[in-house]
A and B are shown apart, each in its own frame.
Chain A
Amino acid sequence: MDELLVMKNISKDFSSTRALDNVCFSVEKGEIHGLVGENGAGKTTLMNILSGNYPYGTYEGELILKGKKCRFSSPKDSERNGIAIIHQELSLIQGMSIADNLFLGNEKGNSFFVDRQKTMEEARRLMALVGLDETPETPVEDIGAGKQQLVEIAKALSKDAEILILDEPTSSLGKEHSEALFRLMADLKAEGKTMIIISHKLDEIISNADRITILRDGKSVETIDNRNKDADESRIVRDMVGRDINDLYPKRNSSISEELALKVEHLNVQSRRRKGELSLSDISFDIHKGEVVGLYGLMASGRSKLVKSLFGKSNGLLSKGSVEIYGKSVDLKTPRQAIDEGLAYVAEDRMRTGLSLDRSIRENMTLPGLKKVTIKGLIDKKKEKTVAGDNLDSFHIKASSYEQDVRELSGGNQQKVLLSQWFYTDPKVLILDEPTRGIDIGAKYEIYSIINEYVSSGGAVLLISSDMNEIFGMSDRIYVLAEGNITGELRKEEFSADKVMNLILKGGKHQ
């Protein structure tokens, strides 16, 4: 066993969550190693540690590279040791040329003069290597996201990396570019490079990886040998998802009516990056009164984009399609209109979008529903305080008082404040985007109960979650979103991880 890299007993905490728990991960020289797992399983965190993004001291455990212990203090440090990471979000400077981006920080020439000729030569060489057919002077913003991905890879190669970490490299690539990429990886492998690839696309992983490691909930489940490219997909899925769907989900007295709370038909959403193209096409779904509808999709599927567009075009993207709320056709151009028509949107990023951390709990709770505590333009503070106090109780929010700054609360309590503010608007349809992310089990249960209560009294919920257990446990029906399309719908009886993953892969194969 030619172990190039060993990560031993790696553990890392983020405030109250344990992102990695004693993970052991090893990579052999010259192999393509696939790292898979659900969102939040810890893959990116593990790679961030390896690439020096989380420096030594912020995690427990050891990194052993070529037999020597490594303590990286920065990404540049790991680069010097031959490790390069290509992140999922592009980190190119849009206004600069391909060539300039390739050598940013590592310019060709001496410290005083950039050697233009050498830059262009090297650039062309690297670009040919990755199969990028553009001129080096082309500004990065003029080429598509797919090609930008190739530039990122070329950039990593320019740093003479021995180990390349690719985080979701084909997420914005079409079939043609993906295949080219894997051919490239095979070439690199022949040259002795080692690659770790994080991906949700299991079929790609199985076709190309030599070994596959599965993470779940911050722990390593197993490492499968895939030399013959014949690994069992369902085995991997089961490892990812886990057999036991725990009894974490409170029972609900289902009373789903025939009435449709929300009906969306033929929704198209423009793409921000690829002008003229659609990031979501022909989305149609509905939610009945009293129903919880789950929306499952991988990170790049466009789930958040879908709901943000629905919620008054709050991401600024053009969209077309018909939306009906309890039979009334609505055209939601702003979040304000969406709120007035009865929609509520609990954002996935509570710290950045969902709450104003430096304001009091009280002020946060009443913001979307400010109208309800306003008389003749003035705020009825007494009523507001009553509302806040009631919310603290009914949501079991642990705080010294509702005047406390939201920043000082724990994640779970912050999430409850976020929920309470939207519940206060008496929504007809509640959109929940990752409502229990980063929250402990106890708080999760409380939130599920709240959702159940809301739904039993006539509410309707659209639940987005990366946690398949959660989706199965809480939904009455599930839609699967992949690559910008709804690829299928599952009724409660049909819930199974296999079926979901198949629907996801179906989307990929349609490319």
Chain B
Amino acid sequence: MKIREFLRNNYLFVAFVLITILFGVLSEGKLFYAGNILNLFQQNMYVFILASGMFICILTGGNTDLSCGSAVCLIGAIAFRMMENGTDGAVAILVMLMIGIIIGAIHGYLIGRFRLPSIIVTLASMSIIRGIANLILGGYTLSVDDEIYLKLFGISKGFPFYFVFVLLSVMAAVYISEFAPLGKHIYALGGNRHSARTSGINEIKIIMFAYIFMGILTAIAAGVVTGRMGIVGPGLGETYAMDAIAACFIGGVSVSGGKGKISGVIMGALLMGVINQGMSIQGLSVNYQNVIKGIILVLAVLSGYLLNREGDKRL
């Protein structure tokens, strides 16, 4: 049946279209206003950026980074404090990158070398990072007025650089997963760890790369988010990790790694964005939105299983 096959191969796209139509109708067309569409992108930039990194991490074998949201807050906080004390914006940005890399390296080492489960490690680091971020903020919401910073990350007049960053992040993920030999190694490691290692693939190197990549993207997301609003406050980034993970699973990335395409992740992020925006326009409180997000997360993984009939693989 041609229709059924089409549905199965493109279920994500179909879902996207259907849900967009649904919310479009519910909002009486408001969803498609230029302003709302722009809003959609701006508010969800971080999802695209973080999901690109999360995608690579999950591919390596179901590894996650639950701490990326807290890290966004921490990195922003450190940068803002530095700029408060007179540091040049450019230097602050460099420091942001460095912190992201360090966090990523630590994760990569614990998970790749010591083989600690990524959930536990990133859950713990999420706590640590959030604590440090709160200490640095001291309860305050900081703002920034550094020219360079705002120009690069902000929505001030001039070129919307933030959009470039989103593009760069996604393209980096595309490059890694589609064009680089490293990408093949990542897929192999997630697909069959034992066979990958027999083929001479260096597991530690791959995982360290994945997490450092995630760390860099986290830094970029920190810049983009704090630059757009010009402020950083406690509680920033609380749902970011979840959103990124959801985008990946909705996008068809396999929970155990080894399968998934960046195109799916983009679609998943878009879908999340539409759902978020749609729910906001409907006036649904954040809380109900979270409930729906939670349900969607499970459904996304569930449908992945059902569609691939991984049924009897493990007993």
Tell me if chains A and B make direct contact, with any CB pair below 8 A.
Answer: yes
Interface size, chain B (Cβ < 8 Å): 22
Docked Cα-Cα span, A42 to B152, in Å, equals: 66
Interface residues of B in 80-113 (CB under 8 A from A): none
Q: Which residue of A lies closest to B254 (CB)?
A: A95
The answer to whether B198 touches A95 (Cβ under 8 A) is: no
User: Which of B180, B183, B184 lies at the interface centre, i.e. has the most chain A CB atoms within 10 A of its CB?
Assistant: B184
Interface residues on A, range: 20 to 34
The answer to whether B188 touches A96 (Cβ under 8 A) is: yes
The answer to whether B200 touches A95 (Cβ under 8 A) is: no
Docked Cα-Cα span, A316 to B315, in Å, equals: 7
Q: Which residues of A contact B191 (CB under 8 A)?
A: 93-96
Docked Cα-Cα span, A103 to B254, in Å, equals: 23
A330 in contact (CB, < 8 A): no
Q: Which residues of B contact A272 (CB under 8 A)?
A: 312
A-B contacts at CB below 8 angstroms, number: 62
B201 in contact (CB, < 8 A): yes
User: Which of A91, A104, A111, A112 lies at the interface centre, i.e. has the most chain B CB atoms within 10 A of its CB?
Assistant: A104
Q: Contacts A107-B181, A114-B184, A316-B312 known; A76 to B192 CB distance under 8 Å?
A: no
Docked Cα-Cα span, A75 to B198, in Å, equals: 8
Q: Which residues of A contact B179 (CB under 8 A)?
A: 113-114
B211 in contact (CB, < 8 A): no
A57 in contact (CB, < 8 A): no
Q: Which residues of B contact A111 (CB under 8 A)?
A: 181
Docked Cα-Cα span, A272 to B180, in Å, equals: 34
Q: Which residues of B contact A109 (CB under 8 A)?
A: 181
The secondary-structure label for the interface of chain A is loop
Docked Cα-Cα span, A319 to B184, in Å, equals: 38
B151 in contact (CB, < 8 A): no
Q: Which residues of B contact A93 (CB under 8 A)?
A: 187-188, 191-192, 195-196, 258
Bitwise, A100-142 to B at CB < 8 A (1) or not (0) is 1001110101011110000000000000000000000000000
Q: Which residue of B lies closest to A270 (CB)?
A: B312
A92 in contact (CB, < 8 A): yes
The answer to whether B194 touches A114 (Cβ under 8 A) is: no
The answer to whether A91 touches B315 (Cβ under 8 A) is: no
Q: Contacts A114-B179, A316-B315 known; A94 to B200 CB distance under 8 Å?
A: no
CB proximity of A495 to chain B, nearest CB, Å: 37
Docked Cα-Cα span, A315 to B184, in Å, equals: 32
Interface residues of A in 64-100 (CB under 8 A from B): 74-76, 91-96, 100
CB proximity of A81 to chain B, nearest CB, Å: 14
Docked Cα-Cα span, A96 to B200, in Å, equals: 17
CB proximity of B187 to chain A, nearest CB, Å: 6
Q: CB within 8 A of A104: which of B194, B199, B259?
A: B199
Q: Contacts A75-B200, A316-B312, A316-B315 known; A92 to B195 CB distance under 8 Å?
A: yes
6 interchain pairs (CB within 8 A)? Answer: A94-B192, A96-B188, A104-B184, A104-B196, A104-B199, A105-B199
B: residues with CB less than 8 A from A are 179-181, 183-185, 187-188, 191-192, 194-196, 198-201, 254, 258-259, 312, 315
A: residues with CB less than 8 A from B are 74-76, 91-96, 100, 103-105, 107, 109, 111-114, 272, 315-317
Given A76-B200, A100-B188, A104-B196, 13 more A-B residue pairs with CB atoms under 8 Å apart are A75-B200, A91-B194, A91-B199, A92-B192, A93-B187, A93-B188, A93-B196, A93-B258, A94-B191, A95-B187, A104-B188, A112-B181, A315-B315
